[in-house]
Amino acid sequence: MQYHNPVLLKECIDGLNINPEGIYVDVTFGGGGHSREILKHLTTGKLYAFDQDEDAVKNTIDDERFVLIKQNFRYLKNFLKMYNALPVDGLLADLGVSSHQFDEAERGFSIRFDARLDMRMDQNASQTAAEVLNTYSEDALKHVFRLYGEVDNAGYLASIIFHNRKDKQIETVNDLKTMILKCVKKGRENQYYAQVFQALRIEVNKELDVLQDLLIQSLEVLKPGGRLVVISYHSLEDRLVKNIMRSGKFEGDIEKDFYGNPLTPFKQITRKPIVPSEKENLENSRARSAKLRIAEKK
């Protein structure tokens, strides 16, 4: 399977601060780029990787120090416990959709191809994007588009879909684009469609719920001094990552002890996110919106 270059590779490896004898987890295996680089820095250490996508599973690495777990990373703690791999020295998450998934037309992730509106990262999951569009109430659609896509006219968009789908079910990318064309400002078509598709993808895969599960579990599985390294691609993800690293809570408010000292489970290694260089952006289109944050468990 052809996958694009891993994003911010050197910065991620530096951020993990790898102990050659340590235990590491790559919760978003994908093409295996980050995992292969981690293995180069291990001697007797071990690397566990997670991916629920059958395409990614085909990239597995033949190395006795490597274990690929074919599961959603929201089950992180249970599976690491099963493999007797707790606690761990570092955890890496490269969130979002892989370039490979965008480039496979039949997966329905991309606005570039006409295909069935699928968008499932786990192809065994039941709910597709088409089912969301054809079965959700008008209010539920409005909520999805406003919250997950930050679509300006989410109410109008939801109304157009809700009333027009009675005459024609929405099955393909072009069905959707044609139906909602009147919602789009001229000259902003691609940006608008990208926001709509992002909202649907997040809803189908429950991405923010799964990310919250992961971040909470990272506190439980990392040993003191262990590193959490996360690349996010949109503000909704980045806000959750930033807040948990800063305060240990998703709301971002910091608790203090009697003396006014902050009670936080992480030490922030990066106060501001690391972003790709101009060179990396030119070489790897997926890198453009990437933000890397690193924290160390106290």
Q: Indicate whether 102 pLDDT > 90.
A: no
> What fold is seen in the domain 9-99+207-297?
Rossmann fold (3.40.50)
* pLDDT value, residue 253: 85
15-42 pLDDT, tens per residue?
Answer: 999 999 999 999 999 889 999 999 999 9
Least confident of 27-36, 89-98, 170-179: 89-98
pLDDT mean over 131-138: 97
Return the closest-CA partner of residue 10 out of 229, 224, 214, 226. Answer: 229
pLDDT mean over 48-55: 88
Cβ neighbors of 288 (< 8 A, separation 6 or more) are: 276, 281
Q: Indicate whether 112 pLDDT > 80.
A: no
% of the chain at pLDDT higher than 70: 93
Identify the DSSP state of 274.
B
Cβ neighbors of 33 (< 8 A, separation 6 or more) are: 3, 5, 6, 9
* pLDDT value, residue 105: 47
* DSSP H or E segment with residue 103: helix 99-103
SS3 143: helix
Cβ neighbors of 124 (< 8 A, separation 6 or more) are: none
158 vs 120, higher pLDDT: 158
Cα–Cα distance, 34 to 150 (Å, whole number) = 30
Q: Indicate whether 83 pLDDT > 90.
A: yes
192-243 pLDDT, tens per residue?
Answer: 999 999 999 999 999 999 999 999 999 999 999 999 999 999 999 999 999 9
- The structure's pTM equals 0.91
Q: Indicate whether 270 pLDDT > 60.
A: yes
pLDDT mean over 278-286: 88
Cα–Cα distance, 298 to 280 (Å, whole number) = 32
Query: Domains of the chain: which residue ranges?
Result: 9-99+207-297, 106-205
Site of tokens 């690391």 = 274
**Domain 106-205, CATH class in plain words:** mainly alpha
* pLDDT value, residue 76: 97
Return the closest-CA partner of residue 184 out of 166, 148, 160. Answer: 160
* pLDDT value, residue 254: 87
**Sheet with strand 266-268: strands edge to edge:** 66-69, 46-50, 23-26, 88-94, 222-232, 291-297, 266-268
Q: Indicate whether 68 pLDDT > 70.
A: yes
